[in-house]
Amino acid sequence: MTTPPTDRPRREGTTPPTSRHRADSTTPTTGRLPVDDATPTTGRLPVNGATPTTGRLPVDGLAPTTGRLGVDGATLHYEVRGSGPLVLLIPGGTGGAASFDAVADRLATAYTVASYDPRGLTRSPLDDPDAPQRVEQHAEDAYRLLDLLSPDAPARVAGCSSGAITALHLLATHPGRVQKVVAHEPPLLEVLPDAPQHRALLIRVQDTLQREGLMPAAAIFAAGLQAASTSPESPAGLQAAPTSPEPPADPDASHATPTPTPAGGPRVGSASPAPDAGVQADHSASSAPASAPGAEAGPSASPAPAPAAGAEVGRSTPSTSSAVPVERSGLPPEAAARVERTMGDMPYFLGRIVPSFMGYVPDLDRLQALSERLVLAGGVESRGEVPYRPAAVMAERFGTELVHFPGGHTGLSTHPDEFGELLAELLR
């Protein structure tokens, strides 16, 4: 597909290139003429020749346009709304694109905003369901989206939890395509002075997952992430601070195990018997440990039991689905579907994303050289917790400010309005 010159006369029956996305799905997001006058966002004809939308009417009455992008080993589901320079939102945990709904609608007043389900989540299936997952591959997926949606200009990128790790690798490997990165609580254990202790936690979680199933492993994961280091080598200011309970980050999914819940966003960390388990800010919450990186479901629904923090364990793990009760009664259909997706993705997250992403070793020298384009952030309520500390350590090393967002690790879900307002300021 090629992009026709902007002064070329409009052909009858075609839609002129524009970055504005209408609810009738007639405007392509790439500014290229689609096949046979249809307007899918990927340049392919969608089912029944129409581009599906999420059915939500965001800011100024425009529904987000959805698309599918084939990448190496997977097919990505993504959503685009608004107009202007591109902002790519990379979710963490199992929340997917839905975790950024409220924030994306806000940003869409000034930007073209793209969010997506990372490979392996329900709407972004893998070609090989058992394929191992690597940060490098996930970052290439983000790069492919940038190339599709903003081929001629660098983009702004924001990531939470495991999505923040993807964003950091994207910046390090494709700096020419990235204007600015906001990384909220990337749980990079290997940058911590007490990394060996956390490696042991990951091994224990994987062992428990294989022997006992999802819920016991998720409970261990959530508890381990909430614990802050008290070792003398820890950088000043990173000692554990008492955490207070935090409201459910995403009423769509949550853990059924009573474990600490991360405060405010896709991060692993605060103590609270409420929903929202996961390493990122795009997940669901409901009534269980929400402090682990990876299980934030999305802002809008009512609490429903779900697995604990970071419950995205390997899909092939036995007894995973049966171990996670999902209460959908009383939820709107869209919210119920989101809960179902989040719970189904927990085994994959905990089994394959957690060990690979949390064990990833970033190129700190490279990131320091690019630090003028990087905003490192943590939750004001998750100070001292494991997911918070890597950003603090890197900010200290780079000589940059550590920005604090409202809430804790899952602040994106628990404080969407305040989170979105600060994010909009940082992306300017």
Q: Summarize pLDDT for 71-110 with one digit per residue, the tens.
A: 999 999 999 999 999 999 999 999 899 999 999 999 999 9
Residue 383 lies in a domain: yes
pLDDT tens, residue by residue, 245-279: 233 333 333 333 333 323 333 333 333 323 333 44
Last residue within a domain, chosen from 358, 381, 403: 358
Residue 396 lies in a domain: yes
Last residue within a domain, chosen from 307, 335, 358: 358
Rounded-to-integer distance, Cα 96 and Cα 247, Å: 20
Strand 402-405, strand 178-184: pairing: unpaired
Residue 129 lies in a domain: yes
Q: 166 and 41 in one domain?
A: yes
The encoded tokens of residue 39 equal 């307007």
Q: Which residue would you say has higher pLDDT here, 287 or 328?
A: 328
Q: 225 and 107 in one domain?
A: no
Q: 323 and 379 in one domain?
A: no
Domain of 65: which CATH number? 3.40.50.1820
Residues 352-372, mean pLDDT to the nearest whole number: 98
Q: 108 and 71 in one domain?
A: yes
Handedness of CA 358, 135, 345, 262 (dihedral sign): positive
Is residue 413 predicted with pLDDT exceeding 80?
A: yes
Q: 352 and 255 in one domain?
A: yes
Residue 259 lies in a domain: yes
Q: Which residues pair with 411 in a beta bridge?
A: 264
Number of domains in the chain: 2
Instruction: Read off the pLDDT band of 184 (50, 70, 90).
Output: very high
Is residue 287 predicted with pLDDT exceeding 70?
A: no
46: Cβ–Cβ under 8 A, 6 or more apart, which residues? 38, 40, 52, 68
Give the mean pLDDT of the chain. Answer: 73
CA-atom Rg of the chain in angstroms = 20
Instruction: Read off the pLDDT band of 373 (50, 70, 90).
Output: very high
One-letter amino acid of 143: Y
The encoded tokens of residue 28 equal 């392509």
Q: 320 and 205 in one domain?
A: yes
Residue 296 lies in a domain: yes
Residue 149 lies in a domain: yes
Is residue 314 predicted with pLDDT exceeding 80?
A: no
Q: 211 and 179 in one domain?
A: no
Residue 316's domain spans which residues?
Answer: 195-358
Residue 7 lies in a domain: no
Lowest mean pLDDT among 181-185, 235-239, 416-420: 235-239
Q: 310 and 230 in one domain?
A: yes
Rounded-to-integer distance, Cα 311 and Cα 293, Å: 8
pTM for the full predicted model = 0.71
Instruction: Read off the pLDDT band of 328 (50, 70, 90).
Output: low
Q: 378 and 313 in one domain?
A: no
Q: 337 and 233 in one domain?
A: yes
Last residue within a domain, chosen from 358, 389, 414: 358
Residue 234 lies in a domain: yes
Q: 257 and 238 in one domain?
A: yes
> What b/e string do you get for 386-412 counting C-beta neighbours within 10 Å, with b at 16 or more?
bbbbbbbbbbeebeeebbbbbbbbbbb
Q: 376 and 333 in one domain?
A: no
CA 329 to chain centre: 26
